[in-house]
């Protein structure tokens, strides 16, 4: 068992509040700030307005700093 939270599937790590009001007619763009691969060490935080591409088994980035 790894000592960290890991992604259950490929996707993107985002701040949920950034996507809460997004929809197909009104998308909310996020800037990609990195990629997390399986076997990587836990990386930087995902801050508001950003996302990290994440592979299955990769460490989930820590929660953002409070606003």
How does pLDDT run along the chain (67 residues), one tens digit per residue?
Answer: 778 889 999 999 999 999 999 999 999 999 999 999 998 887 778 889 999 999 999 999 887 777 5
Instruction: Identify whether the C-beta of residue 45 lies closer than 8 Å to the C-beta of residue 61.
Output: yes
Whole-number pLDDT of residue 62? 83
Q: CB atoms < 10 A from the CB of 9, how many?
A: 8
Instruction: Identify whether the C-beta of residue 13 lies closer than 8 Å to the C-beta of residue 20.
Output: no
Residues in the chain: 67
pTM: 0.80
């Amino acid at each position: 068992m790894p000592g960290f939270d890991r992604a259950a599937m490929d996707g993107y790590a985002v701040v949920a509040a950034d996507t809460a009001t997004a929809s197909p007619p009104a998308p909310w763009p996020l800037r990609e700030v990195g990629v997390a691969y399986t076997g990587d060490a836990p990386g930087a935080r995902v801050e508001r307005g950003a996302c990290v591409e994440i592979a299955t088994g990769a460490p989930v980035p820590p929660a953002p700093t409070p606003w």
